[in-house]
Amino acid sequence: MVAKVEIIFNCQKLITFGFMIKISILGNGNVAFHLYQAFADINEIEIVQVYSRNKTNLFPNHLLIHHFSDLIEADIFIIAVSDDAIEELSNKIPFENKLIVHTAGSISLKKINSKNSRGVFYPLQTFSKDKSIDFCNIPICIEAENEKDATVLVKLANYISENVHVISEKQREKLHLSAVFVCNFVNHLYHIGALICESNSLPFDILQPLIQETSDKILHLHPSQAQTGPAIRNDQKTINLHLSQLISNDHQNIYKLLTYSIQNVNKL
């Protein structure tokens, strides 16, 4: 049985290869799953195989392989596995002169075995298997060793996204770093908010309109202009009150450090 997630997909396909392009996806995680879902609907793309070490119901059975000995040729192999597994997996691909890309934010394309052409196909997004996603606006960051490969990867990306960028390795690393701040760390602050609410018999949901408005606001205002709260007002009375109310040492330290940083960045 194949897992079903509704796909919102309405990109205009402006560029075509003029022929069918054959891709295979190596990996069975969130990125592999969402890339599969996005490419599966494109007429000009044939998904040849999906390699998964373990059993999975995320992909159609007729595409799934579990051994590299079953891997057949394709034009592009997309390695969508954890950072540490990329190098070893690329060594196992039994072909040469194909285009092999990984999807990681902070791994050099040089980790891919050099017997093939190498590139990066990095979708800058957070993926969960149980949440559908509109690929159309997801920035896809492309890196390649030569212009020809970059052009091919941009074309491939344009089938599923209108937000495609060719960037350098350094830029990709910095994007990944920024993503940790605006996604992973932001989610942790949501979690702290939830913990404070829930330990005071308040549902986390009461914070939702504020959370949604905070992210909505920066669609129109640069975050430097959108900053509010006791830190930017230098409201020491409220800051002290808040610090006295925080039970967790971690939360106290985070409050102090972020308050200091807000006040500091404003002096720049």
Among residues 13, 91, 189, 234, which is the contact residue for its own copies, using CB under 8 A? 189
Among residues 125, 143, 157, 159, which is the contact residue for its own copies, using CB under 8 A? 125
Q: Shortest distance, CB of residue 9 to its own copies, whole angstroms?
A: 15
| Residue number with CB closer to its own copies (118 or 242) | 242
Q: Is 179 in the site for its own copies (CB under 8 A)?
A: yes
Segment lying near its own copies (by CB under 8 A), choices 14-22, 73-81, 111-119, 173-181: 173-181
Strands 64-65 and 45-51: parallel
Among residues 44, 46, 163, 169, which is the contact residue for its own copies, using CB under 8 A? 163
Among residues 4, 62, 220, 267, which is the contact residue for its own copies, using CB under 8 A? 220
**Is the Cβ–Cβ distance between 123 and 140 less than 8 Å?**
yes
| Residues 52-111 within binding reach of its own copies (CB under 8 A) | 83-84, 106
- Which helix H or strand E contains 213, and what residues bound it? helix 208-217
| Residues 17-36 within binding reach of its own copies (CB under 8 A) | none
Q: Shortest distance, CB of residue 213 to its own copies, whole angstroms?
A: 6
Segment lying near its own copies (by CB under 8 A), choices 54-62, 109-117, 145-153, 245-253: 245-253
The label of the residue with tokens 């969402």 reads 34
Strands across the sheet containing 45-51: 64-65, 45-51, 21-26, 76-79, 99-102, 117-123, 140-144, 164-166
Question: Around 156, how many Cα atoms within 13 Å sit in the side-chain half-sphere?
Answer: 34
Q: Shortest distance, CB of residue 38 to its own copies, whole angstroms?
A: 14
The C-alpha atoms of residue 165 and residue 179 are separated, in whole angstroms, by 16
DSSP at 81: S
Length of the chain: 268
Q: Shortest distance, CB of residue 128 to its own copies, whole angstroms?
A: 7
